[in-house]
Amino acid sequence: MAEKPQAEEMSTYSTAALQVINYKKLQSKINGVLKQYGLNMTQWIILGRLREKKAGLRTTDLARFIHVEVPLITMVSQPLLGRGLIDSSKAKDDKRAKLLRLTDRANELMEDVEKRLQAQFHDIMKDIPSQELSTYFKVLRTMVQSP
């Protein structure tokens, strides 16, 4: 049986530095595009999640997904409601609960933003082999799911 290659030992300082530097680099590129559309990162994540869940989501579901408190989702979604990018309606199964859904206007906006962000990501990651990127995203998903 083949042995697993040993992972390169890194200090916690080095790990933290890599994480922060790359986060800031990605955040800068993403925010540069989103700012042109009057959006922030949390709003973009909300729009994206609502796009995946076409039937709509409660604010509690969005908060749980992003690992934030419900009032933040309420505050961040208000401008999206005001711009007509999302709408709010009562849930069929619970009249007290409100569901947020994307509007057609949001879907159109998202197409434009997505193309611009994909170009930014391609530029940042062009020198990284696709297998390594795949592993990177798999690791991130695993870390999100761990306690």
| 132 pLDDT higher than 80 | yes
Contact (CB, 8 A) for 44 and 114: no
Nearest-angstrom CA–CA distance, 120 and 97: 38
| 1 pLDDT higher than 60 | no
Nearest-angstrom CA–CA distance, 70 and 129: 38
Quick check: is 132 in a domain?
no
Nearest-angstrom CA–CA distance, 63 and 24: 23
Indicate if the alpha-carbon torsion angle 136, 115, 57, 59 is positive or negative.
positive
CA nearest neighbour of 100 among 144, 141, 45: 45
> In this predicted model, what pLDDT tens digit does every residue of 28-61 receive, in sequence order?
999 999 999 999 999 999 999 999 999 999 999 9
- Provide the domain limits for residue 78: 38-126
Quick check: is 140 in a domain?
no
Mean pLDDT score of the chain, rounded to an integer?
90
Total domain count for the chain?
1
> In this predicted model, what pLDDT tens digit does every residue of 57-83 receive, in sequence order?
999 999 999 999 999 999 999 999 999
Q: What is the CATH number of the domain that holds 47?
A: 1.10.10.10
- pLDDT of the residue at 4: 60
Quick check: is 57 in a domain?
yes
- On whether the pTM is more than 0.75, the answer is yes
- DSSP string covering 40-75, please? -HHHHHHHHHHHH-TT-B-HHHHHHHHTS-HHHHHH
Residue 146 banded pLDDT, cuts 50, 70, 90: confident
Quick check: is 136 in a domain?
no
Quick check: is 110 in a domain?
yes
Quick check: is 108 in a domain?
yes
- pLDDT of the residue at 56: 93
How many other CB atoms are found less than 10 A from the CB of residue 40? Answer: 15
Quick check: is 114 in a domain?
yes
Quick check: is 147 in a domain?
no
